[in-house]
Amino acid sequence: MTEAAQAIISFVDLKMTFKNRVLYEHLNLDIQKGDFFCLLGSNGTGKTTLIYLLLGLLTPSDGKIWLNPEMMTKNDIGYVPQFRNIEENYPLSIENFVALKLSHSLRPWLSRSERLQVRQALEKTNLWQKRKQIMGKASGGEKQRAYLAQAILNQPKLLILDESTASLDQQSKYDVLDLVAKLNRENQTTIIFISHDWPLVKKYGKHYLELFPGKFKYGKVADLAEN
Ligand SMILES: Nc1ncnc2c1ncn2[C@@H]1O[C@H](COP(=O)(O)OP(=O)(O)OP(=O)(O)O)[C@@H](O)[C@H]1O
């Protein structure tokens, strides 16, 4: 199989502008299946916009983003948002919070296979023992792992982390990223990791795209100079 055939996502001559401001143009880049791909760049350079384009929530000004239909559909994308603290009185347990993603309007209870899905996601994120913990009273790292558990419930082929570890303490950041790296290694889950945290990028990332006002560069994280 050729290298190109392994691409799970291709940016094809992508251009995005808001009013007269060009965020990027002529962006041609493949993300390979199983990559740990880091999206870098200072505030306002268009990282979140690129994810919205990928999710189909925005339309490119020109070019396109191609998702390899033999490898995934939009339903195979898991998304872990920026860390949001949850009010202390938020009444759901971690387990019920994770299961929320499966709730149906017709049937308020979970089927046996859905319960198994929740259990597996809690086990993979090391939350099974903590499942009865009230979400609002969980630690920052536990809350973020609960979001990660939600995002991996459907065993996504692509997992996007949008500065998800930015406000966690050092240990919790590495705990969350170790779990993500395990999914990447063992399940070949492709990761897109948006971060400003160079030590994390250096430790876990394989390839990167760095956005600058109106331009970009990409390559292997190992080749990226420290400054
Ligand atoms: N719907 C919109 N209409 C007009 N301008 C927008 C819109 N969405 C984003 N922008 C602008 O596009 C630029 C890129 O925004 P974006 O949120 O993608 O940047 P970012 O790199 O994710 O920034 P941050 O690191 O702060 O999250 C910003 O200047 C923003 O104000």
CA of 26 from ligand 1 middle (Å) equals 19
Whether 47 is in the pocket of ligand 1, judged by its Cβ within 6 Å, is yes
Give the chain's count of helices (H) and strands (E).
Answer: 6, 9
Does 3 score more than 60 pLDDT?
no
pLDDT-based confidence at 6, cuts 50/70/90?
A: confident
Q: Could you give the 3-state DSSP secondary structure of residue 137?
A: helix
| 138 Cα–ligand 1 center, Å | 31
Which atom of ligand 1 is closest in space to residue 211's alpha carbon? Answer: 21
**Global confidence as pTM:** 0.90
What is the spatial distance between Cα 182 and Cα 187, in angstroms, rounded to a whole number?
Answer: 8
Q: What is the pLDDT of residues 167-222, one digit of tens each?
A: 778 888 898 899 999 999 999 999 999 998 889 999 999 999 999 998 999 999 99
Give pLDDT tens digits for 99-141. Answer: 988 866 556 677 888 899 999 999 999 999 999 999 988 888 8
Pocket flag, ligand 1, residue 194 (CB < 6 Å): no
The ipTM (two decimal places) reads 0.96
At the fourth CATH level, the homologous superfamily of domain 7-223 is P-loop containing nucleotide triphosphate hydrolases (3.40.50.300)
- For the stretch 94-109, pLDDT in tens is 999 999 888 665 566 7
Kindly give the distance from the C-alpha atom of residue 46 to the centroid of ligand 1, in angstroms, as a whole number.
Answer: 5
**CA distances, 194 to each of 57, 97, 123 (Å):** 18, 24, 25
Q: How many CB atoms lie within 10 A of CB 38?
A: 26
Q: Is the CB of 18 under 6 A from ligand 1?
A: yes
Q: What is the pLDDT of residues 8-45, one digit of tens each?
A: 999 999 999 998 899 999 999 999 999 999 999 998 99
pLDDT per position as a tens digit, 47-60? 999 999 998 999 99
